[in-house]
Amino acid sequence: MSENSYFEQDLTARINKRKEAGLLRSLMVNNHLVDFCSNDYIGFSQHPDLYIPSEKPMASGATGSRLISGNSIIAEETEDLIAKYHDTPAALIFNTGYMANVGLLACLPEKDDTYIYDELVHASIIDGMRLSLAKRYKFKHNSLLDLEQKLRAASGSIYVVVESIYSMDGDAAPLLNIAKLCKQYKAALIVDEAHAIGIFGKDGKGLVNELGMEKVVFARIVTFGKALGLHGAAVLGSANLREYMINFARSFIYTTALPPHYYIQIQEAYKLLPQANRKKLFSLIAVFKDAIKNIQQASFIDSPSPIQGIVLGDNNKAVKLAKHLKQEGFFTKAILSPTVAKGTERLRICLHSFNTEKEIYKLVDEIQVFLK
């Protein structure tokens, strides 16, 4: 029996209740039907000047939500490709990562259920949970002890929400140990893989893949706006979960679908992922970490990912360092409170496979100049 069988049965019961009421939504593909349905009021979705280069003319807009007129064969083919790539039964595409998190987390729990989440999760996760009826408890960042204390206090169906790689600290969640606790306390594990996709795992499939955890994670969120360089996101999980979100995730139901050419770009990005130069990226991460090890005047975050940074503990100082580096030809970003906790204000540094060792050494030299 699946470790998530209780949660799947719960979703099935809620889906069946909607079926019995005659309210079940489903997707359909509008194949060459005369359109009296869409929002394509002045025909721009078929305007020849708005076509993107392709083997055949393609609409520039979806013309409606996927439950009305915006669904298509290419959308469903793209979801199938994504699901197979990530070794999961099903995927549902959302227009943004924010909408994916909000849509999923707002609709999953009922009134007496509980969310437990890492204190450093993304704002979209917080917003999604706030829109639900569930109780919410946060645990100290990556603290298994605090997580277990919260699990003991939880009631109803329990959902634990974490990121695999955190967007500001660049560190990894202890997913294997978190999954063990979830199994012990019969909780469902939800993992946002936004900053792991394309970087970790076989062919960039993510940290869940790297750890062989596909079958124990209830839902994963993958985004296309980070390493894939595009736009949009998908929630990965069971076919049951996909059907449930089609019926209950408001950010999916009530939004115009992505334009058709976006799906082509997403497909192409997934085809290219295995060829990405992750070896060079990780070698540059090692170069950066070696270059900063003798700097005593500031604290650098301890990160195994491309997300690096220097904690300055002061908004003004972080802004001034970013300004100094800009004057020297470097584009970095000062991350200020309250985006991060007061006292942890920082300069966020993202490394890329197209950076060079020379650029990294020059960047570190300029940081030292500023600190001195």
The DSSP secondary-structure symbol of 350 reads: E
The answer to whether the CB of 262 falls within 8 A of the CB of 270 is no
> DSSP assignment, residue 275?
G
CA 6, 7, 10, 11 torsion: positive or negative? negative
CA dihedral 147, 150, 155, 158 (to 10 degrees): -20
Angle at 305 (CA atoms; ends 317, 320), nearest 5 degrees:
10
pLDDT at 34: 61
CATH class assigned to 278-371: alpha beta
Binned average pLDDT, 10 residues per bin, the chain of 372 residues? 85 90 74 63 54 65 92 96 98 98 97 97 97 97 98 97 96 98 98 95 97 98 91 97 98 95 89 89 93 88 92 89 89 85 89 90 93 87
Q: What is the pLDDT of residue 39?
A: 57
Residue with tokens 């300004």: 323
User: Nearest CA to 111 among 156, 69, 153, 145?
Assistant: 156
Calpha distance 164→206 (Å, rounded): 8
Domain ranges of the chain: 5-274, 278-371
Distances (CA, A) of 265 to 74, 206, 208, 225, 271: 11, 20, 24, 12, 10
Please report which residue ranges of 89-205 form alpha helices under DSSP H: 97-107, 123-130, 144-153, 175-184
Which pLDDT value is given to residue 355?
87
The whole-number pLDDT of residue 44 equals 46
Model confidence, pTM? 0.90
Q: Which letter does DSSP use for residue 295 in this model?
A: -
Residue type present at position 224: F
Contact 150, 178 (CB under 8 A): no
Angle, CA 120 vertex, CA 132 and CA 183 arms, to 5° = 65
Domain 5-274 falls under CATH 3.40.50.40: no
pLDDT digits over 22-54, tens only?
777 777 776 666 675 665 654 545 656 545 555
Structure tokens belonging to residue 218:
């209830």
Q: Residue 225's pLDDT is what?
A: 87
Length of the chain: 372
